[in-house]
Amino acid sequence: MRQKLVLHFPSTVVEQPFVYHLVKDMKLMVNILKANINPRKEGRMVVEVSGEKEDFLEGVEFLQSRGVKVFPLEQEIVWVKEKCTQCGACTVICPSGALSLKRPEMEIQFDDDKCIICEYCIKACPARAMEARY
């Protein structure tokens, strides 16, 4: 299975290794999409975790037992197609390739599997056709 998670690290555990154990002990593939981790401060990470279901559940349990709060990622970036003028300004701003042009038609395509929710597109879109939803 594969799921995007939001992890909240209390300041007391933020300096402990977690990803190491998820990878090494539970054999999970951890893709860090966004991280804000600083010494002695509360941290936040958005990760995509994939692996066997039991390993996944074990991983979540492990994180929770160490005081990390685990939430499913509910925020998403939505492409409002009716507002999109099909220009292409977003395609060089999107760092993950989620927004791209289909060639030769030059039509915008949005692949939300590739979206890392950096939100750069929201203000880069002159037509304001990209929206963050929670």
Which of helix, strand or coil describes residue 99?
A: strand
Compute how many residues bind another protein; rule: CB under 8 A: 20
Name which of residues 71 to 110 contact another protein (CB under 8 A).
Answer: 85-93, 101, 103-107
Please tell me the distance from the alpha carbon of residue 111 to that of residue 22, in angstroms, as a whole number. Answer: 27
| DSSP letter (8 states) at residue 17 | -
> Shortest approach of another protein to residue 30 CB, angstroms?
28
* CB atoms near residue 44 (< 10 Å): 15
> Shortest approach of another protein to residue 46 CB, angstroms?
23
Name which of residues 24 to 53 contact another protein (CB under 8 A).
Answer: none
Q: Read off the amino acid at residue 104.
A: P
Q: Which is nearer to another protein, 75 or 85 (CB)?
A: 85
Q: What are 75's two structure tokens? A: 């925020």
User: Residue 104: is the preceding peptide bond cis (ω within 30°)?
Assistant: yes
> Shortest approach of another protein to residue 29 CB, angstroms?
28
Separation in Å, CA 68 to CA 10, 16, 78, 87 = 7, 11, 28, 42
- Check binding of 10 to another protein (CB under 8 A): no
Q: Which is nearer to another protein, 10 or 126 (CB)?
A: 126
Q: Which is nearer to another protein, 19 or 87 (CB)?
A: 87
Q: Which is nearer to another protein, 56 or 100 (CB)?
A: 100
Which of helix, strand or coil describes residue 18?
A: coil
Residues contributing to the site for another protein (CB under 8 A): 85-93, 101, 103-107, 123-124, 126-128
